[in-house]
Structure 1
Amino acid sequence: MPIQQLVTQLEHTFAPARQLLTPILSSPAVMGVWALLVVASVGTLWWDVRNRNQALPSMMKGVWTLVVLYSGPFGLAIYWYSGRTQISHDSVWRRGLRSTAHCYSGCGAGEVVGILTAQAILGLAIGWVAAITFGFAYLFGYALTVGPLMQEGVAFWESMKDALYSETPSITIMEIVAIGADLLLAASAHVTDVLFWMALAFSLSLGFVAAFPINVVLVNFGVKEGMKNPAEMGDDGRSTRSQAQAGD
């Protein structure tokens, strides 16, 4: 099936969703409320990290900041459930959420840069916007894995091999859904339009939801580690975990 025919078919299939969501995501009032929720969520995250979760690694503090910036209260809820040292116990679901958050932070940054560059600045056709945004998402996503591994002394090519093996499925699913949703909703929107920014925020969260199941599978089968258990970090985390285990 030709690419253009496939795109046309997908647009027809998802037309009802676009008709429902476009007026909502184009509303300045909705954008204002969302902005307030994001600011409040980031403020809550930083307060919690500073006062109760200083033991978290610097990288994960940055990861959670980006996750909450992208997804507001949805991102904060994910952090609260899976990323704090106060979690009662770890599980494959929490590990899957942390793994998805790690991927999401890098890929989300790449998607934002790609969309701004290809669509808002260069004004390219939809195919080029998708290709360039995919490229930036992969670049940023792999970099967030390769960089820390190299800091631990792993050789570049070994780090790249690990990133390609462990991150490609998650990045691919995440970006197919996120970029597809964004272009479906706002392919013709300008950077000054409310729809441009709200569709981007909405599509990023859809990408997280889509990538979560594949990350759970990858963690469950040992392809990905799922990031370190935060309950094992710091005195508060160990104390909380011990109390929870004693009460079981």
Structure 2
Amino acid sequence: MLAAPLAGLADALAPFRAAVVPALSDPTVLAAWAVLVALALGALLWDLRTRNAAIPSLMKGVWTLVVLYAGPFGLAVYWRSGRSEMARDSLWRRGARSTAHCFSGCGAGEVTGVVVLVGLLTIESTLATTLGTFALAYLFGYALTVGPLLQDGESLGTAVRDALYTETPSITVMEVVAIGTDVLLAGEATIGTALFWGALIFSLSLGFAAAYPINVALIAVGIKEGMGDPTAMDGASAI
């Protein structure tokens, strides 16, 4: 059962839930989405191999996860902000790459959380599942920042402080929206239902959209640097 405050919010958002749940509960819709994801992933991997091989391996992994989570939407973000063929970089494109970086780690934590807690451990408490998923999303999100900093020679303490300072605002907004939406739409769904997976996919993309302006703002004020400019890679040519 939802806690009282969440129940009140759920009542207020009932029209939204009624509008989207039927589509998210339809196995045919889920199967069609899986086909679109497969096509988008194939296009991404082809482009990374044939035209953007110089992109760092970290960002190749990031874009792969983004497309797995968000399908054609994720591919569109990559096409507009992650390729060396961009005519020029911009604040908005840096914000998209930074959000994609955050999204890849947090999404992995969220998917792991709901699958393990609901699917494997069969935890029935919405509150326990929500808190556990939040914790894993933060853990995975911070790890994706701390790891590269350690590889660059930063001490563990400095790397953790940097991750907390730069990533907490965007992770928090992303996960409040994503997990909140998932609970609203599929709080009672089990792992074997189309709604469980449909709501998870839909909520992840909403989390990306919510965190994007936060990352743009953090870059604009100098809190975050954003991910590297693909047009500056060796062999890049703008078109």
SS at match of 1:214: helix
Q: Which moved more, 1:185-194 or 1:129-138?
A: 185-194
The answer to which structure has the higher helix fraction is: 1
Q: Match of 1:133?
A: 133
Distance in 2, Cα, partners of 1:92 & 1:13: 36
TM-score normalised by length of structure 1: 0.94
Distance in 2, Cα, partners of 1:4 & 1:200: 20
Q: Match of 2:225?
A: 225
Tell me the percent identity: 56
Residue 28 of structure 1: CA displacement?
Answer: 1.1
Distance in 2, Cα, partners of 1:4 & 1:194: 25
Residue 193 of structure 1: CA displacement?
Answer: 0.5
Q: Match of 2:50?
A: 51
Given that 1:120 and 1:190 are in contact with CA atoms closer than 8 Å, whether structure 2 keeps it comes out as: yes
Given that 1:85 and 1:234 are in contact with CA atoms closer than 8 Å, whether structure 2 keeps it comes out as: no
SS at match of 1:234: coil
Distance in 2, Cα, partners of 1:174 & 1:84: 24
Q: How many pairs were matched up?
A: 237
Q: Match of 2:203?
A: 203
Provide the aligned C-alpha RMSD in A.
Answer: 1.0
Q: Match of 1:91?
A: 90
Q: Match of 1:170?
A: 170
Distance in 1, Cα, partners of 2:121 & 2:187: 13
Q: Which moved more, 1:4-13 or 1:59-68?
A: 4-13
Residue 117 of structure 1: CA displacement?
Answer: 1.6
Q: Match of 1:143?
A: 143
Distance in 2, Cα, partners of 1:103 & 1:35: 23
Distance in 2, Cα, partners of 1:157 & 1:13: 43
Following superposition of structure 1 onto structure 2, how do residues 52-71 of structure 1 map, counting pairs within 5 Å? Answer: 52-71=51-70
Question: Hey, which bits of structure 1, 4+ residues long, moved more than 4 A?
Answer: none
Residue 121 of structure 1: CA displacement?
Answer: 2.1
Q: Match of 1:27?
A: 26
Distance in 1, Cα, partners of 2:34 & 2:104: 19
Name the aligned partner's letter for residue 129 of structure 1: T
Distance in 2, Cα, partners of 1:116 & 1:195: 13
Distance in 1, Cα, partners of 2:200 & 2:3: 23
Distance in 1, Cα, partners of 2:11 & 2:119: 25
Q: Match of 1:234?
A: 234
Name the aligned partner's letter for residue 78 of structure 1: V
Residue 165 of structure 1: CA displacement?
Answer: 0.1
Following superposition of structure 1 onto structure 2, how do residues 30-41 of structure 1 map, counting pairs within 5 Å? Answer: 30-41=29-40
Residue 6 of structure 1: CA displacement?
Answer: 1.0
Distance in 2, Cα, partners of 1:37 & 1:233: 30
Distance in 1, Cα, partners of 2:65 & 2:224: 21
Q: Match of 1:110?
A: 109
Q: Deviations over 1:71-109 (max 9, x none)?
A: 000000000000001111111100000000000000000
| Structure 1 alignment gaps of length 5 or more | none
Residue 4 of structure 1: CA displacement?
Answer: 2.5
Q: Deviations over 1:55-86 (max 9, x none)?
A: 10000000000000000000000000000011
Distance in 2, Cα, partners of 1:19 & 1:26: 11
Distance in 1, Cα, partners of 2:231 & 2:80: 12
